[in-house]
Structure 1
Amino acid sequence: MTEYDNAVPAIAKALAKRGYETLTPVQQSMLDPALVDADALVSAQTGSGKTVAFGIAMAPTLLKGAERFSQAGSPLGLVIAPTRELAMQVKRELDWLYEMTGATITSCVGGMDIRTERRALERGAHIVVGTPGRLCDHIRRGALDISSLQVAVLDEADEMLDLGFREDLEFILESAPAERRTLMFSATVPAAIAKLAKSYQRNAVRIATAAEEKQHVDIEYRALMVAPSDRENAIINVLRYYDATNAIVFCSTRAAVNHLTARFHNRNFDVVALSGELTQNERTHALQAMRDGRARVCIATDVAARGIDLPGLDLVIHADLPTNSETLLHRSGRTGRAGRKGISALIVPINARRKAERLLGGAGITPTWARPPSADEVAARDDERLLSDSIFDDAPREDEQELIEKLVSSHGAEKLAAAFIALYRSKYSAPEEIAEVSLEARKPRDAGDPASRPLTPRGDFGPAVWFSLSVGRKQRAEPRWLIPTLCRAGGFTKNEIGAIKMQPDETFVEIAAAQADAFLKKLGKDGMMERGIKATRLAGAPDFNSFTRGEDGPVRDGPRMDKPWKDRPRKDKPWKDTPRRDQEQKERPAKARAAGSGPRDERRMDDEVWGPAPKSKSFAGRKPSAGKSSDARGPKPFDKGKPKAKSGGNDRRK
C-alpha cells in the first residue's frame, strides 16, 4: 500500500505512472479525510510540490465519486496564478495529474491570443488556469462563466498581492458562487493574506508544513566576496566551476539582464534572457530552450522568474543582491526542489557585505563565506571532470578500430591525448583572474568597543602615493563619482583613498601605499579608467603653492570662491550660462530705436504682428474728461476682452 492510496483512484494511478514513490509533507496533508470539502489556508515554501498538492485536494470535490469527468461545460475548478509562466507550468502539471480523469484543462493568460482562449472556453472546460488580469477580462466580457464553480485555488497568493492584484482577486472571488471551496497556497501568511482569507473563506483549515520551519534544507548557501570590479568575472567562474545542467542568474534590472546576456554570449555560454520587456512568445521559447537543453544559463529579473520550475536547476546565482529576505528565499527556491540538492551563490561586493548579512539574517540563513573560484580552481575542476568522463567507460566499436590504429601509428598516444584535451577545453569559456579580497567582516565603529576599528582622521591617512587624474573642474569632475570610479578600477574601498585636490584640468588623489602597485597593475600600461580618465603615478606630492587663483577659480582645498556669490563680478560668469532672454533684452531697445518708436512702444507687441491700432470715430476730436486717459488712439490690443472697472473711467490707467 502506497502512501497516496487515499487519493482519488484516477489521481493515484497518475502519480504511480509518474514515478511518485513518496509525497512531500504538503501533498500528504491534502490527503487528510478531514480536509475533504473544506477550505484551506496552506503555507509551504517554494519547491515543496504545491501544484500537485492542490491538484490532489481539488479532485474529490470536482469528481464527486466518479472516475471520469462528463462532457465539459462551464468550468468546475479555477486556479489563479500570479504570472504567465507559473500559470502555464501549473497547466502542464495538472495535464498529467488529471490525464486519466478525462479532464479538459484550459489556460487564460495575458500575452496569448484572447480569441483562441474565448473559443476554447466556448467549447467547454473542466478546469481553467489563468492570471488575474486575463480572467477578469473574460468574466467581464461574458466569455468565462463561473456560475458553476466548485473549487477556486489561489496559488502564490502572497506574490499576487505584492504584484497589485488585490482588486482583480476580489472581483473574481465575488463573482464566484458563495458555496464554493477556496484553497489558498502561500509561501508566507502576512496580515494581508490572513485578511483576504477571512473575507473569502469559510472556517478555513490552517496548514503549516514542516518545510515552513526549515527553509530549503537541500540548498547550500554560499556568499562569495569580490571586489566591485570583479563581479561579472566571479559569475563566470562560478558558472564554470559548478558546470550545472541548468543555472539561473538573477539581476535587479532589465538593463543588467541585457548586459550580462550579451557578455555571456560572447564568452561561449548557451544563455537565454527572461525579463518583463519580452513578449510572451519569447519568454515561452526561452524557458523551452532551458528545458530541452539548447540553453543552460538563464539570466532573469525577479518578476519574470516568479514561479518557474526548470528541471535540473542546480545553481542559482544572485548577480545583484535582492531587495529583501523574502526575495532571497524566492530566488533560491528555484533550486533544491523535490529532494534535489542545489547551490545558491550570492555575489557580494566588499562594500555590500553588511547588506548581505542583513538579508541572510532576516531569512534565517547561515551561509558559507568564501571567495569565488579562482582560475586555477576552475582549471583543476575541469581536469577532474575530464578524467571522470563516462566516455572512457565505453569500449571502442569494431567499425572504429581501424581508425584508432591509424591515429595511434600516425601521431602517437601523447599527441592524441593533447589533441583530445584541446578539443575538450575548446567548448568551455576560459576562466577569469580574480583579485583576492579579505573575508573578515568589518567591525562596528563603536568607540566603547575596544575591538572596533576607530575612524582614521584624514590628516593621519598614513603612507600614501599621489596620482594625477586627467580630469578637473573644467570637465565637471566631482568626488561623488570619482571615488566609485577609482574603487572599481583599483578593486579597493573608499577607505584606501585619501585627500582629493581638484585643479582646473587635473585632479590629484592620494591612494594608500599598500594599494598603489596593485592599482597600477590593474590599470595596465596606458593607465586608463572609465570615462577615458588616465591615471599617472607621481614621484612625490604635488606643489600646490604653484597653483594660484586664475580665471578658473582656486584649488579645491578651501572654499570654492573667495567672495560670496552676490559680490562676484559679472564677468566671472561665462556667457554660455547667461539665460537667452538676457541677450534678447539687450537687443530689443536697439531694434525699437531703429524702428523710430519710443520707450512706451517697447512694451507693446510689434505692429507687424498685431497691425495698426484701430481708429474709432467716437474718439475723434473728443476732449479728455477728468480722471480718464488722454490717449485718444483707442484701446490697446491687449486691453481687448478685459473687464472694465466698476467705477467711472479705467482705473488701470490712472
Structure 2
Amino acid sequence: MLPDTLPPSLAEALAARGYDTLTPVQSSVIAEEAVGRDLLVSAQTGSGKTVAFGLAMADQLLADGRLPAPGKPLALVIAPTRELALQVSRELAWLYAGARVTTCVGGMDAVRERRALHSGAHIVVGTPGRLRDHLERGALDLSALAVAVLDEADEMLDMGFREDLEQLLDATADGRRTLLFSATLPRPIVALAKAYQRDALRISTVSETRGHGDIDYQAVAVSPSDIEHAVVNLLRFHEAETAILFCATRDNVRHLHASLVERGFAAVALSGEHSQSERNHALQALRDGRARVCVATDVAARGIDLPGLSLVVHVELPRDAETLQHRSGRTGRAGRKGTAVLVVPYPRRRRVESMLRMARIAVEWRPVPSAEEIRTADRERLLARINEPVELDEDDRALGARLLETKEPAEIAALLVRAMRAGMPAPEELSEAEPARREPVRRDGFDDVVWFRLDIGRRQNADPRWLLPLICRRGHVTRDEIGAIRIGPAETFVQIPRAVAGKFASAVQRTAAAENDESGVTITPSNGPPAQDAGRGAPRRAHGGGGGGGRPSGRPNAPRASYSARPTKPRRPS
C-alpha cells in the first residue's frame, strides 16, 4: 500500500498510474529523517528515482496541499541530456497534475521557452547549457527557488558541465534544498555535494553485487569479423519487443543501423549527428511499435525510458563497469525482467572477464545463437502466435471460406506460416566457435613446402580470416594451395607447396607493383618462422580453408574499440 503520509493529490496520481507500493529509493526520500533535508542519493537507473525526487519536493511545492499560482520557479531539475529532461518533464507533469512544468533543452525553440518562463512556472526541467543560457539572458529567475535537483550528476560531471552547474546553483536562493541523485558517488560528486549541500542525508539503494537484480547479464565471444553477424542472431533469437544496441561512435551507429535496415529489421538510430526532431521521431517510432531496434551511442541513449525495452546489446564494449551499468540499466526497470548481452571479440575476453570480476557483475558466457536454434525458436513462436485466441468478423470468415474452395487446409496453413516467416530477417551463419588448441591437420601435398613471410603480425591485428583472401589474391593461388599460417607479434609466415611456390613468388611481385596494392603488406620468401615459434601451438588457418586452427602463442594485443576490428597497420584489404 502507498504510505498515508503522501499528500492526497500525489497519492491519487500514483494510484492512477498503477502504483500500489513505492520502490526502496522512493520510500527512503520521504522517510521521516529525510523530510526537509538535503539529500545525496545513490540509486541505480530504473529504480524510480524521477518519481522519488518528485515526491521529495512535495513539501516545497504544495502549500496546504495545493500548488500556488505559477510565477518564479519553485523547483529546478537539471538533467544531462535532452531525452532525460523530456522524460523527467513527462513524469512530473502527471505526478503534479495541474502544475506548470517548463522544459528548457538544446535543440528546441529557445524563444518559446523564454515566453513560457516569463509567463510563470512551478517546475523547470532542463539541460545545463540551455538553462545557463536562459539564466544569463535574464529569462530564468531562480531567486525564489525552493528545491534544486541534479539528476544523474555523475554523468553531467563526466560531460564537462561542472561550471554550468555551479553557476546555476550559485544563482539560487540561500535557503533552497539540494537533492543530488547519482548512480555512483565518485570524488567529484562528493566534492560538489560538500560545496552546495548542508547536512545532507546520504541514501544508497545500490546493491552490493552491482547492477540490477532484474537484468540477466550474458556474454558471447566471437571473431572480430563476426560481430555484426552475432548481433543479427541475438536480435533474431530473443525477438525482444524493443532492443537497444550500443556503439562507441557515430560512424559505427550509422553503419550498423544501415546494415540492419538492409536485412529487414525495423531499426532507428540515435547519435549526436541527429537533430532533436529526428531523435523525437525515432523515440516515438520505438514507443508506438513502428520500430523495434535502436542503435545508439552512450550519450544519445542517456535517459531513454522505453517501457517494452527488454534487450540491451553492447556491440562495442563499454569503457568501464559504470558505463556498462548505465547502458544495461535501460532494461530491467520497475520490476520487469531484462537481458544485457556483451559481444566480446576473442582477443578481449580476458580484459572483459577482469572488468566484470572487479565490478562484481555475474555474467553467463554463452555461444552465439546458431541459425538452427533461431529457426527452432521461430517455429515455437509461430505456433504460439497462430494459436492465440482472436475474434474473427464475418469478412474474415468469408475470405477463409473462399480460400477453402480453391486450396486444401494443409496448403493454406503452410502459406500462412510462409507469410509470417517472410517478415523475419534471415539468421546468419557464424564461423566456428572460439579457436582452441588442437593438433595441426596433415594434408596431402604439404610434405614439401616453401615458407613465405608477411610483414604484419598480432600487433597489427593480423587475422587469418582476412589474410587468407589477401594471400590468394596476391599470389594467384586457391585456398587449398595454402598450408599453415603462423602469426607472430610483428610478422606472419605461410606455407606454400613447393610445386606452386615459384608461380606464387612471381605473382606476389607482379601484384604488389602492377596493382598498386593498398594493403601495404609485403610478401617475401623465407626460411620459415623462428625456431622458438615453429613449435608453438598449431598453425592458424581461416575457417573453411583446411589445415589446423589454433590460437597463437602469447596474449594478442586487443584491437581498438571498433566492432569492425580493422588492423591498425596496414589497413584490412577490401
Scaled to the shorter chain, the TM-score interval is 0.7 to 0.9
Match of 1:225 in 2: 221
Alignment of 1:382-397 (within 5 A): 382-389=378-385, 392-394=388-390, 396-397=392-393
**1:285, distance to aligned residue in structure 2 (A):** 1.4
1:499 counterpart letter in structure 2: F
1:417 aligns with 2:413: yes
CA contact (8 A) 1:487 1:494 kept: no
CA contact (8 A) 1:328 1:359 kept: no
Alignment of 1:456-495 (within 5 A): 478-479=456-457, 484=462, 486-488=464-466, 494=487
Bigger radius of gyration: 1
Match of 2:60 in 1: 61
Match of 2:3 in 1: 4
Cα distance, 1:420–1:435 mapped onto 2, change above 3 Å: same
CA contact (8 A) 1:329 1:363 kept: no
Secondary structure, aligned partner of 1:344: strand
Secondary structure, aligned partner of 1:86: helix
Secondary structure, aligned partner of 2:149: strand
Match of 1:287 in 2: 283
2:6 counterpart letter in structure 1: A
2:12 counterpart letter in structure 1: K
User: What TM-score do you get using the length of structure 1 for normalisation?
Assistant: 0.71
**1:498, distance to aligned residue in structure 2 (A):** 5.0
Match of 2:523 in 1: 507
**1:199, distance to aligned residue in structure 2 (A):** 0.8
Q: Which structure 2 residue ranges, 5 or more long, are not aligned?
A: 470-484, 496-504, 513-521, 530-537, 548-566
For residues 221-279 of structure 1, the C-alpha deviation after alignment (integer angstroms, 9 at most, x for no partner) is 11111111111001001001111010000001111000001101101111110001111
Cα distance, 1:391–1:44 mapped onto 2, change above 3 Å: same
**Paired positions, count:** 501
CA contact (8 A) 1:47 1:338 kept: yes
2:370 counterpart letter in structure 1: S
Cα distance, 1:499–1:396 mapped onto 2, change above 3 Å: same
Partners of 1:249 and 1:160 lie apart in 2 by 22
2:175 counterpart letter in structure 1: E
Cα distance, 1:236–1:396 mapped onto 2, change above 3 Å: same
Report the more deviating stretch, 208-217 or 44-53: 208-217
Partners of 2:423 and 2:451 lie apart in 1 by 43
1:519 counterpart letter in structure 2: G
CA RMSD of aligned residues (A): 3.1
Kindly indicate whether structure 1 or structure 2 has the higher relative contact order, using CA contacts under 8 Å at least 6 residues apart.
2
**1:24, distance to aligned residue in structure 2 (A):** 0.7
Secondary structure, aligned partner of 1:515: coil
CA contact (8 A) 1:290 1:297 kept: yes
Partners of 1:273 and 1:516 lie apart in 2 by 33
Partners of 1:184 and 1:95 lie apart in 2 by 21
**1:514, distance to aligned residue in structure 2 (A):** 7.0
1:322 aligns with 2:318: yes
**1:190, distance to aligned residue in structure 2 (A):** 1.1
Partners of 1:404 and 1:254 lie apart in 2 by 49
- Of residues 374, 379, 387 in structure 2, which corresponds to 1:378? 374
Cα distance, 1:386–1:462 mapped onto 2, change above 3 Å: closer
Cα distance, 1:379–1:140 mapped onto 2, change above 3 Å: same
Secondary structure, aligned partner of 1:249: strand
CA contact (8 A) 2:42 2:206 kept: no
Report the more deviating stretch, 174-183 or 382-391: 382-391
1:94 counterpart letter in structure 2: L
Match of 2:87 in 1: 89
Partners of 2:69 and 2:182 lie apart in 1 by 32
CA contact (8 A) 1:27 1:50 kept: yes
Cα distance, 1:533–1:282 mapped onto 2, change above 3 Å: closer
Report the more deviating stretch, 355-364 or 319-328: 355-364
Alignment of 1:208-607 (within 5 A): 208-209=204-205, 211=207, 214-389=210-385, 392-394=388-390, 396-438=392-434, 478-479=456-457, 484=462, 486-488=464-466, 494=487, 498-499=492-493, 504=509, 505=512, 507=523, 515=541, 518-519=544-545
Alignment of 1:128-147 (within 5 A): 128-147=124-143
Cα distance, 1:372–1:175 mapped onto 2, change above 3 Å: same
CA contact (8 A) 2:331 2:337 kept: yes
Partners of 1:339 and 1:167 lie apart in 2 by 36
Cα distance, 1:423–1:461 mapped onto 2, change above 3 Å: closer
CA contact (8 A) 1:461 1:498 kept: no
**1:481, distance to aligned residue in structure 2 (A):** 8.4
Partners of 2:193 and 2:402 lie apart in 1 by 75
1:403 counterpart letter in structure 2: L
**1:9, distance to aligned residue in structure 2 (A):** 1.4
Partners of 2:543 and 2:278 lie apart in 1 by 48
